[in-house]
Amino acid sequence: MKNLRLTGERLITGAGALNALSELTFTRALIITGGKSMFRNGTIHRAETLLSPRGAVEVCHGIPANPTCADVEAGLAVMRRFAPDLVIAIGGGSSIDAAKAMLLFYEWPALNFDNVFQSTLPQKRTKTTFVAVPSTSGTASEVTHVTVITFPEQQNKLAIKTEALRPDIAILDGELCMSLPAHIAAETGMDALTHAIECFTNRSKETFTNALAIGAITGILQWLLQSVEQATPESRQKMHEFSCMAGMAFSNAGLGMVHGISHAFSAHYNTAHGLANAVILPYVLEYNRQDAWVAAELDHLSHIVGGDIIGQVRALAAQVGIPACLRDCGIAEADFERDEAALIAGSMLGSTAVNPIPMTPETIAPIVRAAYYGN
């Protein structure tokens, strides 16, 4: 028996979906966002305009890529001072992930980063309504029960998981993505493809997550290049929706070794999560293909998409400008050689535990090197 959860209370999708903010009931609304992009394209002003007739509104901004404990704690201080009953995260996956961690510690003050991984976590918020409005099409944090936070001192990225983190409302408005630079559209789109393929090759998948993963894979293969090169409204909305489908799938079935290795590199070098996933994905697929079950699943997927899936992943990545190896992402060879042992240890954490082939530091080491050097 499996207990599936695909989203929170509501999923609102389509151009102009942000207008749904005007229907919310609240007393104090806190908007959490990143740096400048959502201000430059007018989204934050628009959200404030929609919300302000219904209650007090404040904006907490400056969430960076790969948010750290310190970033969460700074936002938490704002949240505790303002005491919202509505929290709206607008931006990329980093803004939404940071908001999730803030909310967990806001609703349960006894929890903090010192004890959260040893505690039995609550499953339902009672003080706040949480709305997630993604501006990138990659992480699908708007429908998942997970937040990933960077711990700089340990040079690790770790996931906190509980249903209390899943947003109540997800708003997929492709208009928010129209100002997205091509390279960000490429990296986040390949991130979504990684989610879908890792879910598809996870042994925990079942009928529903399998169908969602296939739908996301075929959709992303069809629409990502147009989204990157032409940035048409239709392609940006489609990528938003297929990314969300991938999130619904992997939050129920799990991921795999790509994310384990990716988190290690992101924690050490602040490499963009989607970029790292995009580079690492084909190397892991080639390795996992030695397993008979994975090989059969990939053969089936290749039949569905009309060609070898690993070849299609490599071709699409090249078309949208993804480097062929992590060395070409600006990570100096001297730094990699110095950190290799720590990177291998970090790669064994997180989603590597549910890779379809059980991994050890000895078996993962050649994959880490291959993904870095491109051999």
Tell me which residue of 317, 32, 326, 368 sits closest to 167, measured CA to CA: 32
β pairing state of 156-161 and 146-151: antiparallel
DSSP 53-121: GGSEEEEE--PPSS-BHHHHHHHHHHHHHH--SEEEEEESHHHHHHHHHHHHHHH-TT--TTTTTTSPP
Tokens of 141: 């944090």
Give, in order, the Cα–Cα distances in Å from 295 to each of 196, 201, 291, 301, 302. 16, 9, 6, 10, 10
3-class state of residue 28 by DSSP: strand
pLDDT at res. 2: 87
Render 279-340 in DSSP notation, one character per residue.
Answer: HHHHHHHHHHTTSHHHHHHHHHHHHHHTS-HHHHHHHHHHHTT--SSGGGGT--HHHHHHHH
CATH topology of domain 10-176: Rossmann fold (3.40.50)
Closest to 214 (Cα-Cα) out of 201, 224, 226:
201
pLDDT of residue 224: 98
Q: Where are the domains of the chain?
A: 10-176, 182-373
pLDDT for the residue 278: 98
Residues paired with residue 158 on neighbouring β-strands, in sequence order: 149
Pairing of strands 156-161, 169-172: unpaired
How large is the C-alpha radius of gyration of the chain? Answer: 20
The predicted structure's pLDDT at residue 155: 83
Phi-psi category of 179—alpha, beta or left, where left has phi over 0 and alpha has psi -120 to 50?
Answer: alpha
Q: What is the dihedral of CA 272, 273, 279, 280, to 10 degrees?
A: 140
User: What superfamily in CATH does domain 182-373 come from?
Assistant: Dehydroquinate synthase-like - alpha domain (1.20.1090.10)
Task: Report the C-alpha gap between 209 and 236 in whole angstroms.
Answer: 23
Sign of CA dihedral 207, 211, 213, 214: positive
The alpha carbon dihedral of 322, 184, 98, 129 has a sign of negative
375 residues of the chain, pLDDT tens digit each: 889 999 999 999 999 999 999 999 999 999 999 988 999 999 999 999 999 999 999 999 999 989 999 999 999 999 999 999 999 999 999 999 999 999 999 999 999 999 999 999 999 999 999 999 999 999 999 999 999 999 988 888 889 999 999 999 999 999 999 999 999 999 999 999 999 999 999 999 999 999 999 999 999 999 999 999 999 999 999 999 999 999 999 999 999 999 999 999 999 999 999 999 999 999 999 999 999 999 999 999 999 999 999 999 999 999 999 999 999 999 999 999 999 999 999 999 999 999 999 999 999 999 999 999 998
Q: Are 68 and 91 in contact (CB under 8 A)?
A: no
* Whole-angstrom distance, CA of residue 9 vs CA of residue 11: 7
Burial class (CB in 10 A: 0-12, 13-18, 19+), 181: exposed
* Whole-number Å distance between alpha carbons of 164 and 175: 28
